[in-house]
């Protein structure tokens, strides 16, 4: 099956610092990549959609200057949480879609971010 990796799997940082999370599709080229955030006992919430070589489309309420997304190639997207604060602590999950069909969306294992 298709594999999507994320790095790091866990990160602890101090308030005010920036954190970069990488998402890679290891065995396929992704037409589109997505970034989600999941709080405990809450729904998986879409943050943004990105296509290679173009600007990401952010969901309403997501600060684009705080959550910087770069989709430099068909296999790599990065999410940078800038000036992180404790309320940004969450589980961040990326996904990559191999075709335009949602059945071909594969999720990464997630990154647990803790901001102290």
Partner 1 sequence: EDQVTQSPEALRLQEGESSSLNCSYTVSGLRGLFWYRQDPGKGPEFLFTLYSAGEEKEKERLKATLTKKESFLHITAPKPEDSATYLCAVHLTQGGSEKLVFGKGTKLTVNP
Is 76 a binding residue for partner 1 by CB under 8 A? The answer is: no
Is 12 a binding residue for partner 1 by CB under 8 A? The answer is: no
Among 11, 13, 45, 76, binds partner 1 (CB under 8 A): 45
Of the ranges 13-21, 65-73, 80-88, 95-103, which one interacts with partner 1 (CB under 8 A)? 95-103
**What is the pairing mode between strands 10-13 and 111-115?**
parallel
Q: With the CA atoms of 32, 33, 34 and 40 taken in that order, what torsion angle do they form, in degrees rounded to the nearest 10?
A: 140
Sheet holding 67-73, edge to edge: 4-7, 19-25, 76-81, 67-73
C-beta of 59 vs 63, nearer to partner 1: 59
C-beta of 32 vs 88, nearer to partner 1: 32
Bond before 58 cis per omega within 30 degrees: no
Q: Give SS3 for 28.
A: coil
Among 13, 43, 50, 80, binds partner 1 (CB under 8 A): 43
Dist. CA 72–CA 75, nearest whole Å: 8
Of the ranges 12-20, 65-73, 82-90, 105-113, which one interacts with partner 1 (CB under 8 A)? 105-113
Rule CB under 8 A: which residues touch partner 1? 4, 41-46, 49, 57, 59-60, 93, 95, 102-103, 105-110, 112
């Amino acid at each position: 099956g298709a594999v999507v990796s994320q790095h790091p799997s866990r990160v602890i940082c101090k308030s005010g610092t920036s954190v970069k999370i990488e998402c890679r599709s290891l065995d396929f080229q992704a037409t589109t990549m997505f970034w989600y955030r999941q709080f405990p006992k809450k729904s998986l919430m879409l943050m943004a959609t990105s296509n290679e070589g173009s600007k990401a489309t952010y969901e309403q309420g997501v600060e684009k200057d705080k959550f910087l997304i770069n989709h430099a190639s068909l296999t790599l997207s990065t999410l940078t949480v800038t000036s992180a604060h404790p309320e940004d602590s969450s589980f961040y999950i990326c996904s990559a879609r191999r075709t335009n069909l949602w059945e071909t969306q594969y999720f990464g294992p997630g990154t647990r971010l803790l901001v102290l």
